[in-house]
Structure 1
Amino acid sequence: MGDKKEKTYPPADVVERLQRTLPAWRLEDGWIRRTYKTQGWKSTLMVINTVGHLAEAAFHHPDITASYAWVEVRLMNHAAKGITDKDFELAAKIEEVVGWQPGKDGGALTGPPDDPRFAYIKYDR
């Protein structure tokens, strides 16, 4: 926690970087944002807890809004009053963990069966 202000990025640079590295994220009202669609309340809570764990481990905390079947994560560095590398790095980690789809990487973990009783996240891809 030093006195040195972190570098913030101008909106055009933020948009370009998001398009290049985090295409499901968008810049809106000074925040980078991502909405995750879930299959219901249990999945919504699991996403919130996952994001909370990652944020606490990183000591960089997003704003979160949620409803029954979605979670919106918003990142902006409050101290720097803009988007910094911390925001991009935490967004990438959230995307990696929440968007992980076992079975697509050829490992032993297969993910939930194709049965609505076990539905979890509505994956974008």
Structure 2
Amino acid sequence: MADPKAIIPEDEVVTRLAAELPKWRLEDGWIRRTYKTNSWKGTLMVINTVGHLAEAAWHHPDITASYAWVEVRLMSHDAKGITARDFELASKIESVVQWRPSEDDALEGTPQSDMRFSYVKYD
């Protein structure tokens, strides 16, 4: 297994993002993703989700937020670059924030027709 703290070359980061995390982008040395929400409630739910996953992983993103969006930025601060840890955390964040029940699940999910309950704008 490769060193999870080894910096991944920029061209490989771009290639991997396109293949593995197409909604994420490389910008200014960070991999970034903006999640759109429907309200401050949704914004806080995304921030708390990212916070929980990051703390459990012991890898901490930078987060910027506004009323209806959250930007997550990942870079391994100790390595001063993008590493496998950033990709793993980005993938976990993406799968949890974008998850919603399918039509076959016992869980019905939030009503899409009533904005009072809507919180994340799914891609």
- TM-score class, shorter-chain normalisation, is over 0.9
Q: How many residues align?
A: 120
Matched to 2:105, the amino acid is G
- Shift in Å at residue 101 of structure 1? 1.4
Supply the distance in 2 between the matched residues of 1:118 and 1:42 (Cα, whole angstroms).
Answer: 10
Match of 1:109 in 2: 107
- Shift in Å at residue 89 of structure 1? 0.1
Matched, 1:45 2:44: yes
- Shift in Å at residue 5 of structure 1? 8.6
* Residue segments in structure 2 that go unaligned for 5+ positions in a row: none
The percentage of counterpart residues that share the same residue type is 70
* Residue segments in structure 1 that go unaligned for 5+ positions in a row: none
- Shift in Å at residue 115 of structure 1? 1.1
Matched to 1:84, the amino acid is T
Match of 2:21 in 1: 22
Supply the distance in 1 between the matched residues of 2:23 and 2:92 (Cα, whole angstroms).
Answer: 13
Matched, 1:81 2:70: no
- Shift in Å at residue 83 of structure 1? 0.3
- Shift in Å at residue 88 of structure 1? 0.0
RMSD: 1.3
